[in-house]
A and B are shown apart, each in its own frame.
Chain A
Amino acid sequence: MPVSSPSAPPPLLSLSDVTKRFFNVTALAGVSLDVRRGEVHAVCGENGAGKSTLMKVISGMYAPDEGTLRLEGEEMRFASTQAAQARGIVMIHQELNLVPHLDVAENIFLGREPRRGLFVDRARQRANAQACLDRLGVAIRPDSPVAGLSVAQQQMVEIAKALSMNAELLIMDEPTSSLTDAETAQLFKVIRELKHAGVGIIYISHRLDEMAEIVDRVTVLRDGRYVATMDLAATSIDEIVSLMVGRALDDKFPAPTRRRADETVLAVRGLRRKGAFGPVDFDLRRGEILGFAGLIGAGRTEVARAVFGADRVDAGEVRLHGRRVDIRSPIDAIRHGIAYLSEDRKAHGLAVKMTVAQNVTLANMRAVSGRLGFIRFADELSAARRYIDALGIRTPSAGQVAKLLSGGNQQKVVIAKWLFRDSRVIFFDEPTRGIDVGAKYAIYELMDKLAADGIGVVLISSELPEILGLTDRVCVFHEGSLTKILETRDTTQEEIMHHASVRAPAAPAHAPTLQTTAA
């Protein structure tokens, strides 16, 4: 347990031996943590390690069953998140909590509107919002509607909102999960400025590699228990990962077992949709993993969805094994053996209220039903069990509701759905987003195995190490065009970033996508 010497001022936040139980499940067991002013403190752990519960205790959503929470030495018991906010503890959730139809200023002061008599003092609201945005150095107008902002800009609005509450301790949950590298750089600049202003920041992220830039200390949790707190300078990603999972991970990516053949599985020519992408040409060969790299909004997802028939196209053709196919809807694509795993599992991939078995068979009901569409439940159950075993899906039973599974296991259920359909080409769109390290590795292995079995695999990923570690070739996208196809083993992160950031080869890399005022 961290103990400060008597002469030093007490830390901004100090938790000691915090325990939280739900019925008879212990989510946190005697966790201690302290956060100093002007420090970025990362909290790491696999999914289910207790990070979320801990943050909810700190931000006042849960009251701890045991242990104490001290703010600058004073013991606190928050009755609500509002009570915690009143003392300057503000949490920014991964899923941002903004009202899309209101403008920026209205969002920042939602529920705390400055008033003049009975009415909202709109002029003052706007001026105050402007002041908060100025402190962050972002060029967002207080009167622009939130619905029109990018995710990165919305995040800045959330931070501005926290500043407007005089936040002293900011909790950021996966702040970079949907940001591009340039947007992440901008966020880090803002975080550094907050540090200088003496704000303490608790930072939760699955992206360990980016922590080095801003994090001062890191605390690792495992299975609801405190494992260690270290200065970041004195540790390494490998050490953090091994503490998180409790075992050493030699390789972050599995050694490939696949062999690329000269045979083209999928050929796309001149695929185009006005205002979105194209024309795009690429080939996918048998036994290879083809990467789609690029910034968010570069058109990678759009191209995949278009090939899959989920969105309309204006022109272009798709050939499967040399034969031209006409795909107008996902029904056509699936019939031809093309599958798409969407980047947003809960919104597009999984029927969350249905069971694991029902999700596995959803795309291929014909295989488990007889005449008149009567479902053969025994067949369905055995198919589901087969994939639960084959993919190592951790679920109490095939009848478990999908909603209750962890992110990694939900992703495996979606993969099982497409394997059960005998897909020949599978697009994986950000398959490891929000998934813990161990489960990620399992999914990497699975993708390699699929490619080895002759299935064409396309990996869309915003994480360059993932692209470099897993693919054979990379298609780099920039603002709707496929700018370059690279051999993975001959390229570098820098080269990919370069093609992702600029259209003209001569211009320098890293074009900022977030508008900023001159710092």
Chain B
Amino acid sequence: MNDRQKDLIQKFAALAGLLVLVAVFSTTSNSFFTLGNGMTVALQVTSIVYLGIGATYVILTGGIDLSVGSILALSGVVAALAVKAGVPVPLGMTLGIAVGALCGAINGLLVTRMKLPPFIATLGMMLVARGVALQITGARAISGLGDAFGELGNGSLWRVVKLDARGFPDVVFPGIPYPVLLMVVLAVIASILLTRTTLGRHIHAVGSNAEAARLSGVNVGRVVMFAYMVSGALAGLTGCVLMSRLVTAQPNEGVMYELDAIASAVIGGTSLIGGVGTISGTVIGSFVIGILRNGLNMNGVSAFTQQIIIGLVILLTVWIDQMRNRR
């Protein structure tokens, strides 16, 4: 059995696990397998997928990014402050994403130039970005941002609403929320970049053997830098989407989100040593986490128990992965 087949089996194992979860929750709760709940899950999963894609890129190069939860808060409040100051919403959000990319670039420089271990570099960024977010807002939420700010998080495409006889709106089709649309587009682009381009190949090569890649003429520093910038920019985007959904910018948003991102990548088969991982796996991993949370909620399982279960799922999948690699 070659590695390609092994990867397929691994992927199908995660997918099969996902389907089993759906099947189980469908029988235990009547309202689980409905269009409305499906949309809710998809919407909840979007932020894990955005961050998970970034985490996959970084982990593929053999690094780790602990700062995304803080970066998303900083990016979100920067976007909100800009809008509050009169900047148009699209420009404000672009600014937020740029701040995220900048934080990622700093992470990249700390890792490639100053040779800090990624764990430490991004741990520092996690504290700094959170601190800046709290500082510039005075630790207060920013509200009154206007409807336009909420469009990205709450709007949807192909929403069909009919007015009934009495003039009340009747939602025929809820539409595809913009964040879900964005998730699909980003996952497809990220996956194509990783599997079909030179840059993607270099990311794999750096994670597989950084010294061999360097001696083969791969610009290792630039590749690593790119991965951290993708992670930072996607964290920035996540921040904008999350704050837009609430139409409020919270400097305390996104605490511990980095762990969901890393967990989704790991459940999806990304190796923490680097060199191995796929975006499709990470998307599946994100849905495993999202559906577990949603289904357990609907069955009235407490948040504490949910943590225990998700923790065990991570341990189980990584253990299965180790077993697979040991052969």
Question: Which residues does A use to contact B, with CB under 8 Å?
Answer: 308, 310, 330-331, 333-335, 340, 342, 347-354, 358, 362-363, 365-366, 369, 372-375, 396, 399-401, 417
Contact = CB atoms under 8 A, between A and B. Distances in A.
B201 A374 contact: no
Contact of A330 (B199, B217, B275): B217
Listed from nearest, the 6 A-B pairs whose CB atoms lie closest are A373-B198, A334-B217, A351-B208, A363-B216, A353-B208, A373-B197
A314 to B, nearest CB: 21
Contacts of B2: 396, 399-401
B259 to A, nearest CB: 26
Q: Is the interface of B mostly helix, strand, loop or mixed?
A: helix
24 contacts: A330-B215, A331-B219, A334-B217, A335-B217, A342-B215, A347-B209, A348-B209, A348-B212, A348-B215, A351-B205, A351-B209, A353-B208, A353-B275, A354-B275, A358-B204, A362-B216, A362-B218, A363-B216, A369-B198, A374-B198, A375-B196, A375-B197, A375-B198, A417-B216
Contacts of A396: 2
Interface string B183-223: 00000000000001111011011001101111111110000
B164 interface: no
Interface size bracket, B side: 20 to 34
Contacts of B208: 351-354
A22 to B, nearest CB: 10
B204 to A, nearest CB: 6
B4 interface: yes
Nearest to A333: B217
A372 B197 CA distance: 8
A366 B215 contact: no
Contacts of B197: 369, 372-375
Given A310-B215, A348-B211, A399-B4, 11 more contacts: A331-B217, A351-B275, A352-B209, A353-B204, A358-B201, A362-B205, A365-B202, A369-B198, A373-B198, A374-B196, A375-B196
B83 interface: no
A20 B202 CA distance: 40
B213 A366 contact: no
A29 to B, nearest CB: 23
A366 B205 contact: no
Contacts of A365: 198, 201-202
Nearest to B209: A351
Contacts of B218: 362
A330 B205 contact: no
B51 interface: no
Contacts of B219: 331
A425 to B, nearest CB: 14
Interface string B261-298: 00000000000000110000000000000000000000
Contact of A362 (B4, B201, B211): B201
A352 B275 CA distance: 10
A349 B201 CA distance: 16
A350 B275 CA distance: 13
B199 to A, nearest CB: 6
Contacts, number: 79
Contacts of B198: 365-366, 369, 373-375
B113 to A, nearest CB: 15
B201 to A, nearest CB: 6
Nearest to B219: A331
Contacts of B199: 373
A335 B214 CA distance: 13
Contacts of A358: 201, 204-205
A374 B198 CA distance: 6
Given A352-B208, A362-B201, A365-B202, A330 B216 contact: yes
Nearest to A341: B215
Contacts of B209: 347-348, 350-353
B204 A354 contact: yes
B5 to A, nearest CB: 11
Contacts of A354: 204-205, 208, 275
Nearest to A331: B217
A363 B196 contact: no
Contacts of A340: 215
B211 A347 contact: yes
A401 B205 contact: no
Contacts of A333: 217
B212 A401 contact: no
Interface centre among B198, B218, B276 (most CB of A within 10 A): B198
B190 to A, nearest CB: 15
A351 B217 contact: no
A342 B216 CA distance: 11
Interface in B196-255: 196-199, 201-202, 204-205, 208-209, 211-219
Contacts of A363: 216-217
Nearest to B218: A362
Contacts of B217: 330-331, 333-335, 363
Contact of A349 (B196, B202, B212): B212
Given A352-B209, A365-B202, A330 B196 contact: no
A330 B214 contact: yes
B324 to A, nearest CB: 14
B2 to A, nearest CB: 7
A331 B219 CA distance: 7
A17 B201 CA distance: 48
B201 A350 contact: no
A401 B204 CA distance: 13
Nearest to B6: A401
B34 to A, nearest CB: 41
Interface centre among B4, B202, B208, B211 (most CB of A within 10 A): B208
A308 B217 CA distance: 10
B224 to A, nearest CB: 15
B145 to A, nearest CB: 37
Contact of A353 (B196, B214, B276): B276
A347 B211 CA distance: 7
A421 to B, nearest CB: 8
Contacts of B216: 330, 334, 362-363, 417
